[in-house]
Structure 1
């Protein structure tokens, strides 16, 4: 394997919460990185985060990843691809048109573009635990999810499902489309997919307004800014730290055995009660803003998510909830001060 400095990695959606950490991981490892962004201004914002690596960071403008040929120019001459970009609609009128098809096309278009680039060795796709979980089973406490599990929703069901179910379905169909293309085309490159659940961790991407945080950062910010009076119910009780997710992308690209493998990336289960307990202790200066759970209330039993494959095949170790939440909130408080 040639040295990282001789390899260029395309990282799609480079301005995102997860992607910023992925870009950082590859730059720190020594790679040349080409990030896709939607505009020149976004490229300027991303570059500000990585001034010390400016000689190894470049950009390609891709305004709409779901358009045919969207990545044809961006993939020219790269050695590998980390595909983190995924279409996301907050207001969905038509599940198929607004969610399912854009997610599928966004994934297949980059794979098809890569077919014409024989130097590309591996593509790593950011999938999701949403592509793994069986929502119809609820908390399913007797079950441990592994990489062989798939969200069983059908396309016909997804077209008329509620927004959360349709979004989860879109992640499953996008990932399945990637594996189907691999099976059909037998390409020169290998594939790996990363399936994290809720992703927390420090905010390092460009943020202009605390009201426009990414979803998971906003999820924690509401617990420390006084806007949430009661501990909310935990919707998806499994989590990962964004830095671990980024490291998993790097290792899934580099490790030979990761070829054509799927990885669940998680530190385990959690609840918002756990989070609030950690934060009240770690940040006593804001403890009055942090909601308090009911004393003596036990948490319901929940499914488990196995990270054994990531540990054994990628050599991953995972951060604790305490360290992740401390770093998340520290970054949010610093960002809040900076934007005031």
Structure 2
């Protein structure tokens, strides 16, 4: 199977949360990187951030990844691709079918542009919501443990999103878009028999210090925002999300997927831990300088073990074995995220 240990790689979505860490890992691994960004400001931000690698960093502007031929210039002369760019808006109010179409078209445009290149491997950032739900419905909270693996697909959320369209919850629309974009990825490769193979990376909710352009609160991290303000509802501490993973582990595994021969044709869940509102509350108050008046989580190991005993589990062990790493700890990652959010905002209101 094709694999890539050196050469020039294209990274789309490079200025984003996962993107900035992925660029760093790729550069440290010895790759030259061409960064696909939506504006020159974002490209210059990345060149400045990685100034020590100036001879290995360039960028190209792709304003609209859905436009015909959007990636034609970006892919010239590249050896591999890490495709991170995809619509991420959990508050999207439009039609679910529009969000799905945008994600699918972005994948299609990239793959079509790559068809006539000498690219060896394409790594697609998908999501655990391509195998199961982003969060468990309130009525199902604390019922039974459910384990998801790479063998499953989240077609249920696709059907729900298309049935409800604009009325579908944002996380359902997002899950449907990720599911269908990844389905298209594998369908296109199977139908067109390109010279390159594919790998799909499926992370859970990403946490870790924000370093992306703008240094705001990333979409996946935004679920902690209510717990960073007074008045969060302690009765919802047992509310459950689709697991979590440190963004730095995602970046490592994503780059490692380029050079691991046996990764070709595989999906890899990246999920290290269960995730509840209780974990977010504990993390929000870990920065004591900013914890006054906040709702505190329950740190009792027995309480946390009880939550885990009936949790959604996204099994991320396959990635650990394939890429030879160990996931970072949950509490440490969330605490570090909170500390960086406060530092980046420098007292500005949330």
| TM-score after normalising by structure 1 | 0.89
Unaligned runs of 5+ in 2: none
Partner of 1:177: 184
Alpha carbons 1:134, 1:152 under 8 Å: kept: no
Give the equivalent residue in structure 1 for 2:335. Answer: 326
Equivalences for residues 286-305 of structure 1 within 5 A: 286-293=290-297, 299=307, 301-305=310-314
CA RMSD of aligned residues (A): 2.6
Distance 1:228 1:338 in 2: 19
Question: CA separation in 1, counterparts of 2:59 and 2:152?
Answer: 36
Give the equivalent residue in structure 2 for 1:36.
36
Pairwise mapping of residues 106-117 of structure 1 onto structure 2 (< 5 A)?
A: 106-117=106-117
State the partner residue of 2:147: 144
* Higher-RCO chain (CA-CA 8 Å, sequence separation at least 6): 2
Distance 1:291 1:46 in 2: 37
Residues 107 and 286 of structure 1: CA distance in aligned 2, closer, same or farther (over 3 Å): same
Q: Secondary structure of 1:223's partner?
A: helix
Match for residue 132 of structure 1?
Answer: 131
Q: Sort the Cα spacing of 1:278 and 1:165 in 2 relative to 1 into closer, same or farther, 3 A.
A: closer
Name the CA distance, whole Å, in 2 between partners of 1:182 and 1:311: 25
The runs of at least 4 consecutive aligned structure 1 residues that moved more than 4 Å come to 1-4, 134-140, 154-157, 293-298
Deviation at 1:134, TM superposition (A): 4.9
Aligned counterpart for 2:253 among listed residues 235, 248, 254: 248
How far residue 267 of structure 1 moved from its aligned partner, in angstroms, is 0.8
CA distance in 1, matches of 2:291, 2:348: 22
Q: Please, what TM-score do these two structures have when normalized by structure 2?
A: 0.86
Are residues 108 and 235 of structure 1, via their aligned partners in 2, closer, same or farther at CA, if it must alter by over 3 Å? farther
Aligned residues: 332
**1:218: Cα distance to partner?**
3.1
Instruction: State the distance in 1 between where 2:13 and 2:299 align.
Output: 43
Task: Determine helix, strand or coil for the equivalent of 1:236.
Answer: strand
Structure 1 CA distance for aligned equivalents of residues 4 and 218 of structure 2: 34
Q: Structure 1: state its 5+ residue gaps.
A: none
